[in-house]
């Protein structure tokens, strides 16, 4: 699957989806932990951590008012360790963080490796790896394993809750900052321009967008299009699906209209 650049106007929606998915994993993990099924709970909370780390990476781009490049998208969505490292940064300065994890280098690598070991049956060093036992910890007694996993769960849950709260505070602060930007930089306007340019030819068109609470006014340069009226109706239909409560006005003009 080919990755594409994420326009800055699309970032807030992506952050919200990451948060929803992270919350889903965490709530399911909590349900399992209450049933003392810590191993499966740890797997799900690790996935929750990754989604939270991804949300934070995206939010940083939105704060800087910049797109997420194709290469960055590839890293953020493919490299598990990178997302877990980002998660670690979100709570490493917390007073609730366990002392053994402070300044821990390679957190992403270790956590991802831990996730794999508690999840998959594997074959290495000429023997089977059973995810139900911790060979690297020399633990085979089920009671000892249960207590160790319970301890891991407590640490993971505590760190997640603090990272989650920190991210929500950061998101709120950033969105308030964005509200003070000039209207020409508003996320809604950037999204509309992106949609227009994705539909039309970004090399030849001039798109001007003005957004109010109830209306979207768009000026489009119809040059190089054999049927401008058809283009106008199709573009209006596309935008209406995305902004159903707004009045969409599209004007065709060959003159340059400033944003």
105-156 residue pLDDT tens: 556 777 888 888 888 888 888 888 888 765 555 556 777 778 888 888 988 8
Q: Which helix (H) or strand (E) holds 240?
A: helix 228-242
| Whole-angstrom distance, CA of residue 111 vs CA of residue 259 | 47
- Quick one: pLDDT band at residue 256, thresholds 50, 70, 90? very low
pLDDT at position 185 over 80: no
pLDDT recorded at residue 205: 52
Question: What are the CA-CA distances from residue 137 to residues 90, 116, 126, 144 (Å)?
Answer: 28, 15, 18, 10
Query: What pairs with residue 129 in β-bridges?
Result: 122
Choose the weakest-confidence range: 141-150, 163-172, 223-232: 223-232
* Domain assignments of the chain as residue spans, ordered by start: 8-179, 183-252
58: burial class by Cβ within 10 Å (0-12, 13-18, 19+)?
buried
pTM of the shown model: 0.64
Please work out, in degrees rounded to the nearest 5, the angle formed at the alpha carbon of residue 61 by the alpha carbons of 78 and 170: 105
What was the pLDDT predicted at 250? 79
Quick one: 199 exposed, middle or buried, by C-beta within 10 A (0-12, 13-18, 19+)? Answer: middle
For the chain, how many residues are written? 259
Report whether pLDDT(25) > 90: yes
Neighbours of 41 (CB within 10 A): 25
How far is it, in rounded angstroms, from Cα 89 to Cα 93?
8
Beta bridge partners of 247: 215
- What the block records as the tokens of 209 is 């967008």
User: What is the distance between the alpha carbons of residues 12 and 6, in angstroms, rounded to a whole number?
Assistant: 11
Q: What is the CATH number of domain 183-252?
A: 3.30.70.2210
Q: Give the per-residue pLDDT at 13.
A: 87
């Amino acid at each position: 699957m080919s990755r594409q650049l994420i326009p800055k106007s699309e970032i807030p929606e992506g952050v919200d989806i990451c948060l929803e998915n992270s919350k889903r994993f965490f709530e399911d993990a909590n349900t399992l932990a209450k049933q003392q099924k810590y191993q499966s709970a740890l797997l799900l909370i690790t996935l929750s951590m990754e989604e939270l780390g991804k949300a934070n990476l995206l939010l940083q781009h939105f704060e800087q008012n910049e797109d997420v490049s194709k290469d960055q998208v590839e890293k953020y969505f493919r490299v598990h360790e990178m997302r877990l490292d980002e998660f670690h940064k979100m709570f490493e300065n917390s007073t609730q963080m366990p002392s053994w994890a402070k300044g821990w280098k390679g957190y992403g690598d270790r956590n991802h490796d831990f996730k794999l070991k508690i999840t998959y049956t594997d074959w290495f060093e000429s023997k089977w790896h059973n995810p139900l036992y911790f060979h690297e910890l020399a633990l085979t007694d089920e009671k000892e394993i249960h207590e160790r996993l319970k301890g891991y769960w407590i640490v993971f849950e505590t760190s997640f809750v603090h990272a989650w709260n920190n991210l929500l505070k950061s998101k709120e602060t950033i969105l308030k900052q964005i509200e003070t930007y000039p209207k020409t930089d508003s996320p809604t306007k950037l999204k509309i321009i992106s949609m227009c340019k994705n539909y039309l030819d970004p090399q030849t068109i001039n798109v001007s967008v003005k957004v109010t609470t109830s209306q979207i006014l768009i000026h489009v340069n119809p040059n190089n299009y054999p049927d401008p009226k058809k283009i106008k109706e199709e573009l209006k239909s596309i935008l209406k699906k995305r902004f159903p409560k707004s009045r969409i006005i599209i004007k065709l003009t060959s003159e340059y209209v400033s944003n």
